[in-house]
Copies of this chain bind each other. A is one copy, B any other.
């Protein structure tokens, strides 16, 4: 048993764009377990856009990440020591273990969840069959709720959330149009994920140009939009939105560094009688079992595909995270910790 843990802390808050200097790697001794606790060797750390928001010290839906503490993050791993009667050594678990190699967890329900890796690979519980997949499921089914033949647009379409949104929409008989950065991602979105079309947003410098591309890709207009990005993409989509269209607002990565990202024509909400709703999946736990059942079944049937970018070792986490914010990842961004 290693007696030392390696952890990455938030060292300082970014002014605008974050850098590796905002993080600090430390080595700390692993404490002895108290009654009821378990020691987990984290195998994979999930990197997600929401973490950027937590780095700021501003009002948001969640408390800011405290300085000099272990960065928040979802993890999957294996129990290596247990003083809980709910977990045994060797159990595979998913939880919010943070940016560190080991975590000492209270073995309470909600903090750690045992998962079955017979049919689903461990790290999928951080992606398509985990929080990102459930995020996709909630926004698509509870806000966009597409009817067969309707058109659904998804930004960040090759990402952990967007890739699932599009596949769930196809399962429901919708026409699905993705937006992604670069030809390689667009090819993947169409040929591997089965979207009808994917637009490379990098070819479109403004909302007008992107809106023209959307007009071609969506000949019947847009009925639902799953928003991961914001900025000109939102404006362009709104210009093509149909009456009674729905926008599920899940992320607005375009403004995470404080850039202003106004919505240019909010009157379109009225003109098109649109519904726009922001949501945070962790506030809708009552849907998790239903979502996980569908996602797990689709995966087992080979109808839920995804891609992963895996960075090697805890040290690589800050660089991988900054890359995620710039869209340098391809699919779900993970850090392999073992």
Complex interface: chain B residues within 8 A of A250 (CB): 270
Is A328 in the interface zone, CB < 8 Å from B?
no
B264 close to A272 (CB less than 8 A): no
B275 close to A60 (CB less than 8 A): no
Complex interface: chain B residues within 8 A of A283 (CB): 273
Across the interface, name the chain B residue whose C-beta is closest to A275: B277
Complex interface: chain B residues within 8 A of A230 (CB): 266-267
A279 close to B271 (CB less than 8 A): no
Q: Which residues 201-219 in A have Cβ within 8 Å of B in the complex? A: none
A83 to B: closest C-beta gap in Å = 38
A270 close to B243 (CB less than 8 A): no
Binding site secondary structure of chain A: loop
A61 close to B267 (CB less than 8 A): no
B267 close to A261 (CB less than 8 A): yes
Copies in the complex: 2
- Contacting residue for A280 out of B251, B273, B275, B280, CB 8 A: B273
Q: Which residues 27-71 in A have Cβ within 8 Å of B in the complex? A: 59-61
Is A289 in the interface zone, CB < 8 Å from B?
no
Complex interface: chain B residues within 8 A of A272 (CB): 61, 278
> What are the 7 tightest A-B residue pairs by CB atom distance, in nearest-first order?
A270-B278, A262-B262, A263-B263, A263-B266, A269-B278, A275-B277, A276-B276
Complex interface: chain B residues within 8 A of A60 (CB): 271
Is A320 in the interface zone, CB < 8 Å from B?
no
Across the interface, name the chain B residue whose C-beta is closest to A60: B271
Give complex CA distance A272, B234 in Å.
18
Chain A interfacial residues counted at CB < 8 A:
32
B261 close to A269 (CB less than 8 A): no
- Contacting residue for A270 out of B249, B262, B275, CB 8 A: B249
Is A73 in the interface zone, CB < 8 Å from B?
no
Give complex CA distance A239, B267 in Å.
18
Q: Which residues 67-119 in A have Cβ within 8 Å of B in the complex? A: none
Centre residue among A250, A270, A274, A283 by max chain B CB count within 10 A: A270
B251 close to A261 (CB less than 8 A): no
- Knowing A262-B262, A272-B61 touch, does A267 contact B255 (C-beta < 8 A)? yes
Complex interface: chain B residues within 8 A of A262 (CB): 262-266
Across the interface, name the chain B residue whose C-beta is closest to A262: B262
A272 to B: closest C-beta gap in Å = 7
A275 close to B273 (CB less than 8 A): no
Complex interface: chain B residues within 8 A of A276 (CB): 269, 274-277
Complex interface: chain B residues within 8 A of A273 (CB): 61, 277-280, 283
